[in-house]
Amino acid sequence: MNHDMPSSPAGTDSIISSRSVYGAPCWVSLTSRDLKATEEFYSAVLGWQWRPAKLGDPFRIALVDGVPVAGIAAVAAMWQMAVAWTPYFAVRSADEAVSRAAERGGTAAVGPISLPPGRAALLADRDGATFGVWEGELFSDWDAWRTKRPAFIRLHTRDAFDAAIFYGEIFDWASGEGCCEVRYEGDEVVLRHEGQVVARIESGALGAAPDPAVRPHWQVHFAVEDVTACARAAERHGGSVLSLGEDEAVLRDADGAQFTVTARRLGH
């Protein structure tokens, strides 16, 4: 969960609110089983450093050049949750977002719960893809986080148009009240914030597929300098390579969580 979003990097003291970027992806978090193994894997593959999170021993914050990029929660076994990467979206009200999702066929797995100074919830859309919402303070240099964070997130879903309506009505993507712009480009729905692609939605997932990689899910893409080097490092440290191309690779970490590394030069 979004267990440490309010913390600012060292040397900063001005805070902005999730209201300022309402509807945009604002954080990603990994639920894992083994904290030490997770730290070692992502340090080797993505070069991350670590610091403690406010919620205690099972939680860590990943850093790149001192900037927080992701959260790790080693609570999968304790909370009986799936090992997976989850994107979080900024909202004005977590309670309102949960209510809107429920009205449209979504479900709440966790929350809303208070994580001062904010509120969070973990949800599933009507096709079963998991996502989170965060209401409250963001990093003061949120734009710096955007340059260090995932290149973007992609929803693999049953029907992109139907999913875009579901999320658009929750986050006001098409109303002018949210901060993002939505365009239908070919077979995809593309979400942009200040001209930068932050999310894509594509059709083709199978709701009843036994393989979770084929069922509807949000896929987190991390921008890297060398895709092949990341894939090799993943294999050396207990992970696996599901697909490998010149500019992109789909990887699975040692705990089973799936993610994608994407060449930074692509400028998604």
Question: Tens of pLDDT along 125-167?
Answer: 999 999 999 998 876 566 666 666 677 899 999 999 999 999 9
pLDDT tens-digit map of 220-254? 999 999 999 999 999 999 999 999 998 999 999 99
Q: Over 50: is that where the pLDDT of 9 sits?
A: no
pLDDT tens-digit map of 88-115? 999 999 999 999 999 999 999 888 988 7
Beta strands in 67-203, from DSSP E residues, in sequence order: 67-73, 84-90, 107-114, 118-124, 130-138, 150-156, 181-185, 188-193, 196-202
Residues in Cβ contact with 112 at an 8 Å cutoff, skipping those fewer than 6 apart: 94, 95, 98, 119, 120, 121, 133, 135
Cα–Cα distance, 164 to 138 (Å, whole number): 25
Residue of 25, 84, 46, 41 whose CA lies nearest to 225: 46
Q: Over 80: is that where the pLDDT of 12 sits?
A: no
Cβ–Cβ < 8 Å for 28, 149: yes
Instruction: Give CA separation, 235 vs 32, 73, 164, 251, 252, in Å.
Output: 18, 23, 35, 9, 9
Residue of 153, 222, 161 whose CA lies nearest to 187: 161
Predicted local confidence at residue 6, as pLDDT: 42
Q: Over 80: is that where the pLDDT of 180 sits?
A: yes
Q: Over 50: is that where the pLDDT of 7 sits?
A: no
Chain-centre distance for alpha carbon 190: 16
Q: What is the pTM of this model?
A: 0.88
Cβ–Cβ < 8 Å for 28, 220: yes
Predicted local confidence at residue 141, as pLDDT: 60
107 beta partners: 124
Query: What confidence tier does 13 reach under pLDDT thresholds 50, 70, 90?
Result: very low
Cβ–Cβ < 8 Å for 72, 32: yes
